[in-house]
Homo-oligomer: A and B are copies of this chain.
């Protein structure tokens, strides 16, 4: 039956939304139970403990990201375009308030107080994004589509920091448009200035 996976997906989705707004300690099984419409005890059937639930959530979050990256790289050849699509993805999520913040950004902020199993998954997520961005920078440098001023892995970390910092600022001011305001010049700087 697909009811099983349906309910457990609903649980994960509502947990994701709740974490997105208040972090690991900002939600409870009771909160999920209200959203999904089942009893607390039934959630424990799908995810015995809160650690199990969030660990699985972050693991899937990373896997989904990895799948998206594969699709993105298949469809967009130009490296600058790849970075633009990535930035625009977040710009859209923030501006239409559908996913106004990265689950792993919030969990990473709380890292020292997270259960170790969850913390490990969160670190894995950041390592994945970072190493992916590094490959994009390297490729863009070699093929001459990106204008790098530092080593690829440094440019990758700097770009990631800009995206996540911009996300935080947008939330802090309550102004979604701040994200794009910050990202535009960052992307422009990576564009090759064509000499003509």
Contacts and interface: CB of A to CB of B under 8 A. Distances in A.
Given A154-B181, A157-B178, A171 B106 contact: no
Interface stretch (A67-75, A78-86, A162-170): A162-170
Contacts of A101: 109
A76 interface: no
A138 to B, nearest CB: 16
A77 B93 CA distance: 41
Nearest to A153: B181
Between A109, A130, A157, the greatest number of chain B beta carbons within 10 A of the residue's beta carbon is seen for A109
Interface stretch (A20-28, A33-41, A43-51): A20-28
16 contacts: A21-B113, A22-B110, A23-B26, A106-B109, A106-B110, A108-B168, A111-B171, A111-B174, A150-B185, A158-B186, A161-B161, A161-B169, A162-B162, A164-B168, A164-B169, A165-B166
Contacts of A178: 157
Nearest to A178: B157
A126 B169 CA distance: 8
Given A25-B26, A181-B157, A172 B110 contact: no
